[in-house]
Structure 1
Amino acid sequence: MSVASIHLETERLLLRLPRIEDFERYAELMMDVEACRYIGGHLPRGGAWRKFLQMPGAWALQGFAMFSVEEKATGRWVGQMGPWRPDGWPGNEIGYAFHPDAWGQGYALESAVAAIDWAFDTLGWDDIIHCISPENIASKKVAHRLGSTLLREGRVLPAPANEAHVEVWGQTRAQWGINRKRLA
């Protein structure tokens, strides 16, 4: 299967490769101070553009990255979710970020289930993590609902994020097999 044809569907969402038309909503997300306080801080439009290009680049070079998440009913880009492993990262991350107008609708949990299934089934990963700011209660709730547990905390990210204190939540493939049944 070519990378370009990869997409996942859930009841309400389409997880697909990023497209240029996703950028406007992505830029809104990245320029929002509140939305970005736990993911490295907000960025001006130019910085958002450079960060936006990370995912298509990772797809092209690694064969995986976070998916763009789109509402099936409207076609609206609501966020990104999926596998992410920059050089020096502390593990195989399933990461996410959602536009503020998509918060509170269960999109993170719904898309995470599809992304975790895909990472285990397609990428062959044996475990996954989520790097979460200790103050990010909403993300910790999502990780907990997925069945992930706190594995470690501290300054575990590579530069330039090496000053960030994070909690690393995660689970193994075997644990996901059990936890996935709970979420069905």
Structure 2
Amino acid sequence: MNIPTLTTGRLTLRPVARDDLDTYTEIWVDEEFARHIGGPLDGHSMWHNLAGNLGCWALEGVGPWSVIENETGHLVGRAGLWVEPGWPGIEAVWFVGRSWWGRGYATEAANIAAAWVFTQRPELPEVVSVIRPENTASIKVAQRLGMRYDRSEHLHGGDKGIYMISRAAWVARG
């Protein structure tokens, strides 16, 4: 598997690693953090979650990265891409621990991930994000990325909003 490392001025997106397990578990046991994405997760469940993230890379050629704050070296969350059978498209995803909310990290990390996939897959017509309707913070991130609500789909046991940005709209936003 060749998982690249991406950097922004404030963040590094690097491959998910076994050593991330404890920090991810600490982030995911926070009920406020986990309420829109499933959880909280214990260490055993989180190990399976991380294995699935690496499996996405192996099976689909895209996946999430661990997000590291450059200034401190702290793991602050996970962001990147997701796709699975029956999914509405390649999805930009972001999960930032509550201690780091409000700093723009989700938008920054999702932005570089979407830019990467549009570069790597010139045939890709759009990137989507699958968001629960009550997750207003993630809807705002999607909107900052230039995504617009497209439709609702029933996925993973519930109705989710599908936000999308076309390649043309991505290029036009600069």
Q: TM-score, normalised by structure 2?
A: 0.93
In the other structure, the counterpart of 1:164 is 158
In the other structure, the counterpart of 1:140 is 139
Distance in 1 separating the partners of 2:151 and 2:39 = 23
In the other structure, the counterpart of 1:21 is 19
Relative distance call for 1:77 and 1:62 in structure 2 (3 A) is same
Which residue identity lines up with residue 143 of structure 1 in the other structure?
Answer: A
The answer (yes or no) to whether the contact 1:31–1:45 under 8 Å persists in 2 is no
| 1:128 pairs with 2:147 | no
The answer (yes or no) to whether the contact 2:94–2:109 under 8 Å persists in 1 is no
Distance in 2 separating the partners of 1:143 and 1:52 = 23
Which residue identity lines up with residue 171 of structure 2 in the other structure?
Answer: G
In the other structure, the counterpart of 1:52 is 50
| 1:174 pairs with 2:168 | yes
CA displacement, residues 126-175 of structure 1 (integer Å, 9 cap, x when unaligned)? 201000111111101111111100000141x2xxx1x2121110111001
Distance in 2 separating the partners of 1:3 and 1:167 = 31
Distance in 2 separating the partners of 1:90 and 1:114 = 21
Which residue identity lines up with residue 82 of structure 2 in the other structure?
Answer: W
In the other structure, the counterpart of 2:84 is 86
Distance in 2 separating the partners of 1:100 and 1:25 = 13
Distance in 2 separating the partners of 1:55 and 1:129 = 18
Per the TM alignment, residue 102 of structure 1 is displaced from its structure 2 partner at its CA by 1.3
The answer (yes or no) to whether the contact 1:13–1:111 under 8 Å persists in 2 is yes
Distance in 1 separating the partners of 2:131 and 2:6 = 24
Q: Could you list the runs of 5+ residues in structure 2 that have no partner in the other structure?
A: none
Per the TM alignment, residue 63 of structure 1 is displaced from its structure 2 partner at its CA by 2.3
CA RMSD of aligned residues (A): 1.4
Sequence identity (%): 36
Per the TM alignment, residue 28 of structure 1 is displaced from its structure 2 partner at its CA by 1.3
Relative distance call for 1:57 and 1:154 in structure 2 (3 A) is closer
In the other structure, the counterpart of 2:73 is 75
Per the TM alignment, residue 25 of structure 1 is displaced from its structure 2 partner at its CA by 1.4
| 1:36 pairs with 2:30 | no
Per the TM alignment, residue 98 of structure 1 is displaced from its structure 2 partner at its CA by 1.2
| 1:95 pairs with 2:89 | no
The answer (yes or no) to whether the contact 2:22–2:43 under 8 Å persists in 1 is no
Q: TM-score, normalised by structure 1?
A: 0.89
Which residue identity lines up with residue 91 of structure 1 in the other structure?
Answer: G
Distance in 1 separating the partners of 2:44 and 2:8 = 32
Q: Could you list the runs of 5+ residues in structure 1 that have no partner in the other structure?
A: none
Distance in 2 separating the partners of 1:77 and 1:24 = 11
